[in-house]
Amino acid sequence: MRFAKNRLRTAAHTAVAVAMGAAALTALPATASAATDGLSVQYRTSATGAGADQAEPWIKVKNTGDTNVPLSSVKVRYYFNDSAGATYRFACSWAVKGCANVTGTFGTLAHPTATADRYLEIGFTSGAGSLAPGADTGDLQLRFYQSTWAALNQSDDYSFGASRTSYGDWSKVTAQLAGTTLWGTAPAGNDPEDPPTDPPTDPPADAATLFDDFNYSDYSDPRISAHGWNVRSNSGGPGVPGATWAPEKVTFSSTGGNSIMNLETSTAGTAASTKQTEILTKAMKFKNGTYAARVKFSDAPKSGPDGDHLVQTFFTINDLTAPMADDYAEYDFEYLPNGGWGETSDILYTTSWETYQPDPWVAVNQHTEGRRSYNGWHDLVLTIDNSTIKYYIDGQLFGTHDAAYLPERPMSINFNQWLIDLAGQTSTTARAYDQQVDYVLHVKDQVLTPAQVTAKLSAYRGTGTTFEDTVPGS
């Protein structure tokens, strides 16, 4: 894909956009498909005009075999030309299978051609389910664009079909099942079965690390304090003025063989009845590197009426030494299942803070937002190096923030759940909300990919390690 003419989009699109890094490939011979398996791909586009600022490959994947096909094993590749070396972002506008179950990552071809040097690989989570023989996915209304919203020229893109304004079989898009190509022809010399080489190496094993599987009995377990955590009981913000931070509402259980920490927040519509929860490291000793956690967000209360302006979080922070102090730092994942702060429905924020002033309120930050439900378990990864801050959700890049927001001082690691106010639900009926946490990981001064985070977690659990902290004090 070439620049047609440089220009910036004047208004951001409302759909959630995801950017992923390129993966270089090495060519291997094609492999024959199994006799009982078969896939086909239909394609159409609604972005055919010259100078469009986004490509719109809409597809349907069909099971042409005679056995059920789990969509989590299916990968579809759309090939395009990028002579400008731009950064691309993926978005799903609508999908019969649900956009939350569709993923998009970008890769680089090992053997560039005149019409392709990059590809968009479309995948599916387990939530997309399976395709029975003869069934298809229905519409997958997908799009991608340059991070600058520069105008595109798709005419030299291998997989683009300007005349394809209605669905039809399209062999210039490939489809794989469990690593075997069952449909389409890739650009010459670029078989999609070639294994990716990004990430190229495992991270060094001796990096200073905090890992906690939250394998505790209850909030008063002495190992919690010994491992450097504080279950909050002191008063103060954030949240409803006069609410209580209740350590007894932080509980632990075992689910599926893993220990789980649960933060419960409850209210009966008054400040006196509101109990919020937080757990944080006692030391502020975490700065650059990788932060990761698996967190379960909840859209609805486990009991009582819904609607409260709830905030469910995973974040790092240090103290504000003075209003607008330039050595303040905070990096947040914040999910608001019922809106709040002027939002009327569910929204997830990732926010990088430079500083703020509490009264009158002045904020200096950069944020990325996703306006959809994030109910359920999610893998959250934050990386900070000397140039950028990146936020990943379920392996997909969610937001990249500027060097202007890099931390000057070390921080603590925190999880909390609290109410912005009592205006979302005014009932005096008692209700309670849960936020759950599976584990937390910090690797000092190393940027790990989400795949490397998963591998490191698996290594800890494979050896039965439930806690490690080798990060030196600040």
Assess whether pLDDT exceeds 70 at residue 35.
Answer: no
What is the reported pLDDT for 50?
A: 64
pLDDT in tens, 283-293: 999 999 999 99
pLDDT at 193: 62
What whole-number percentage of the chain has pLDDT above 70? 89
pLDDT in tens, 121-178: 999 988 889 999 999 999 999 999 887 888 888 999 999 999 999 999 999 999 999 8
Among 141-145, 187-191, 385-389, 459-463, name the one with the lowest average pLDDT.
187-191
Q: Is the pLDDT of residue 237 over 80?
A: yes
Q: What is the pLDDT of residue 33?
A: 42
Model confidence at 194, in pLDDT bands (50, 70, 90)? low
Residue 19: predicted pLDDT: 31
Specify the pTM: 0.62
179, pLDDT greater than 60: yes
**Mean predicted lDDT score pLDDT of the chain:** 87
Higher pLDDT, 330 or 456: 330
pLDDT of residue 45: 92
Three-state DSSP string of the chain: CEECCCCCCCCCCCCCEEECCCCCECCCCCCCCCCCCCEEEEEEECCCCCCCCCECEEEEEEECCCCCEEHHHEEEEEEECCCCCCCEEEEEEEECCCHHHEEEEEEECCCCCCCCCEEEEEEECHHHCEECCCCECCCEEEEEEECCCCCEEHHHCCCCCCCCCCCEECCCEEEEECCEEEECCCCCCCCCCCCECCCCCCCCCCCCEEEECCCCCCCCCHHHHHCCEEECCCCCCCCCCCCEECHHHEEEEEECCEEEEEEEEEECCCCCCCEEEEEEECCCCECCEEEEEEEEECCCCCECCCCCCEEEEEEEECCCCCCCCCCCCEEEEEEECCCECCECCCEEEEEEEEEEEECCEEEEEEEEEECCCCCEEEEEEEEECCCCEEEEECCEEEEEECHHHCCCCCEEEEEEEEECCCCCCCCCCCEEEEEEEEEEEEEECCCCCHHHHHHHHHHHHHCCCCEEECCCCC
pLDDT digits (tens, 9 = 90+) for 51-110: 688 899 999 999 999 999 999 889 999 999 987 778 888 889 889 999 888 988 888 887
With a cut of 80, say whether residue 439 has pLDDT above it: yes
240-249 pLDDT tens trace: 999 999 999 9
Average pLDDT over residues 375-394: 93
User: Can you give the pLDDT at residue 14?
Assistant: 28
